[in-house]
């Protein structure tokens, strides 16, 4: 298996506080890694560093071999990122926002239009294409963010809580989409929904206080008959005690 994401000793401090502490793992093509942890564990900070939104204090990562610190533009080209929350530019319509993002990615003319159309169709946004983003429900805003991450068909996807705010049907659709894309990509998704890990992830990484506490397949984590919930609590409460 080829590792498309290689994270080595990734660390981020805010003043004297260490939010991400020496995190190391790799993700190969075909893997969907669930990134789990309690609030404040360091998931979003790790993902923001991978996406080039924030510099590490120490360590680094490579996206398809491109170092996020030394070659940030080349690394970003290989990666689609769904940040936490809603897309910026709330006054833009869905189609204008996605066309704007596609232009930033370097697409023009019919290729740009095609890419926007495909991303909208994959995330079921056609019905709201002309609607300003600020008037959409939380679930639809999440899907606009997801569409933006898919525009350039990147081999690596880093998705921060992709199903947050979606209703059960929409959650199902997004999980299906992730499963469908998985064979060709390396995907990291953060989630608070433990069932999601069993539903879409080939591997789960549990993090608390910035440190990786477990890295195993969902089946390995629950091998001794405990539920994913119990495993999560034992690891993360144990750490907090
Ligand atoms: N810009 C910042 N300045 C100071 N502290 C920060 C900053 N960003 C994050 N932190 C802190 O770093 C820690 C990790 O935050 P992070 O958002 O990465 O956690 P998380 O695991 O994504 O949490 P959640 O599940 O709530 O989204 C938290 O204690 C947070 O308050």
- Residue 1 located in a structural domain: yes
Count up the domains in the chain and report the number: 2
Same domain, yes or no, for 145 and 163? no
CA within 13 Å, CB half, 37: 28
Which residues form the domain of 38? 1-78+154-202
Q: What is the CATH number of the domain that holds 169?
A: 3.40.50.300
Looking at the domain assignment, is residue 230 inside a domain?
no
Task: Say if 42 falls within a structural domain.
Answer: yes
Domain check: are 10 and 54 in the same one?
yes
Are 149 and 197 within one domain?
no
* Complex ipTM: 0.97
8 Å CB contact between 212 and 24: yes
98 belongs to a structural domain: yes
Residue among 41, 165, 208 whose CB has most ligand 1 atoms within 8 A, to mutate: 41
- What's the pLDDT score for residue 240? 46
- 73 and 158 assigned to the same domain: yes
Pocket test for ligand 1, best of 11, 20, 44, 54 (most atoms within 8 A of CB): 44
Ligand 1 close to Cβ of residue 40 (< 6 A): yes
What is the model's pLDDT at position 1? 58
Q: Is 44 in the pocket of ligand 1 (CB under 6 A)?
A: yes
126 and 140, same domain (yes or no): yes
Say yes or no: 11 and 57 in one domain: yes
Answer yes or no: is 5 within a domain: yes
Residue 233 lies in a domain: no
Residues 10 and 68 in one domain: yes
- Confidence at residue 241, expressed as pLDDT on a 0 to 100 scale: 39
How far apart are the C-alpha atoms of 234 and 241, rounded to whole Å?
Answer: 10
Considering only CA atoms, which residue is closest to atom 31 of ligand 1? 40
Same domain, 20 and 127: no
Grouped pLDDT means (10 residues each) for the chain, 241 residues: 91 97 97 94 96 96 97 96 86 96 96 97 94 92 94 96 88 90 95 88 95 93 86 78 39
47 in ligand 1 pocket by Cβ < 6 Å?
Answer: no
Position 164 in a domain: yes
Place of tokens 């989630």: 191
65 Cβ closer than 6 Å to some ligand 1 atom:
no
Q: What pTM, to 2 d.p., does this model score?
A: 0.94
Q: Does 145 lie in the same domain as 165?
A: no
Report the pLDDT value the prediction gives residue 34, as an integer from 0 to 100: 96
Residues paired with residue 19 on neighbouring β-strands, in sequence order: none
> Considering only CA atoms, which residue is closest to atom 2 of ligand 1?
14
For residue 39 and ligand 1, the question of a CB distance below 6 A is answered with yes
117 and 148 inside one domain: yes
Instruction: Say yes or no: 49 and 164 in one domain.
Output: yes
């Amino acid at each position: 298996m080829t590792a498309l994401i290689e994270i080595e000793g990734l660390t981020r401090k805010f003043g004297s506080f260490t939010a991400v502490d020496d995190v190391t793992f790799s993700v190969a093509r075909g893997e969907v890694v669930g990134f789990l942890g309690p609030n404040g564990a360091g998931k979003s900070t790790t993902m923001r560093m991978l996406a080039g939104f924030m510099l590490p204090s120490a360590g680094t990562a490579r996206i398809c071999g491109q170092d996020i610190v030394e070659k940030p533009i080349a690394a970003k080209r290989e990666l689609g990122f769904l940040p936490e929350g809603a897309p910026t530019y709330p006054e833009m319509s869905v189609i204008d926002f996605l066309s704007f993002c596609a232009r930033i990615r370097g697409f023009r003319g019919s290729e740009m239009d095609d890419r926007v159309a495909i991303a909208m169709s994959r995330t079921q946004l056609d019905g709201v294409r002309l609607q300003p983003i600020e008037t959409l429900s939380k679930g639809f805003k999440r899907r606009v963010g997801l569409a933006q991450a898919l525009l350039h068909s990147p081999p690596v996807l880093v998705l921060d809580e992709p199903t947050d705010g979606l209703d059960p049907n929409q959650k199902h659709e997004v999980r299906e989409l992730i499963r469908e894309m998985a064979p060709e990509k390396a995907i990291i998704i953060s989630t608070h929904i433990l069932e999601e890990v069993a539903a879409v992830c080939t591997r789960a990484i549990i993090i608390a206080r910035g440190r990786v506490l477990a890295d195993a397949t969902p089946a390995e984590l629950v091998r001794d008959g405990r539920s994913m919930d119990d495993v999560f609590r034992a690891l993360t409460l144990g750490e907090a005690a």
